[in-house]
Structure 1
Amino acid sequence: MQIGSILPAGRQNDTTTGLADQLEQAFLEEMLKYYGPPPAEGAFSGGAGEDQFASFLTREHAALLAGQLDLGFARMLGEGA
């Protein structure tokens, strides 16, 4: 069961929500750099190209995770304002 916001839709701060989404994505991206899936090894690895473009894949993984997870950054930013 989900409970919606008690504030009217016109009073929600889209700037705070957008900033929180970007912050969540950046947090997840940094986390995935250290704890994400390891690079492939062996004959089917990407070699030097995989090393060069791994950050793009990490950023996309973080964006997908941020879209699926709610880490509560918007709530924290809203309470601080």
Structure 2
Amino acid sequence: MIEPIVAGPRPQAADPLWAKAQALESAFLSEMLGHAGVGQTRESFGGGAGEAQFSSFLREKQAEALVRAGGIGLSQSIFEALKRHEAQK
């Protein structure tokens, strides 16, 4: 099992700000996985255009799994910033 990088209490899953923060971290990680070459079509024995089209879905699911496992701590930072911003209103 993958342990979370950021230790400490997690916000409640019911909090809409936490869900938005996780979605943003997931989108960020998906982009980073793409730039790292995850899911790129191989030169030989590749799946063709279909593989290239659907590889983004695989990266999105991998990024979501990373976030569920604790991510890189970006969700926590975003959540705390959103909470501070909300408290200032």
Shared fold (TM-score, shorter chain, > 0.5): yes
Alpha-carbon deviations, 1:28-65, whole Å to 9, x = none?
A: 1222221242433312x212211111111111111111
Moved more, 51-60 or 71-80: 71-80
Q: Which runs of 4+ in 1 moved over 6 A?
A: none
SS at match of 1:41: coil
- TM-score normalised according to structure 1 size: 0.69
Unaligned 5+ runs, structure 2? 1-6
Unaligned 5+ runs, structure 1? none
Cα 1:28–1:63 change in 2 (3 A) is same
- TM-score normalised according to structure 2 size: 0.64
SS at match of 1:39: coil
Cα 1:53–1:13 change in 2 (3 A) is closer
Tell me the matched-pair count.
75
Cα 1:59–1:13 change in 2 (3 A) is closer
SS at match of 1:20: helix
Matched residue, 2:79: 74
Matched residue, 2:4: none
Q: Distance in 1 between matches of 2:24 and 2:54?
A: 22
Which structure has the larger Rg? 1
Q: CA RMSD in A?
A: 2.6
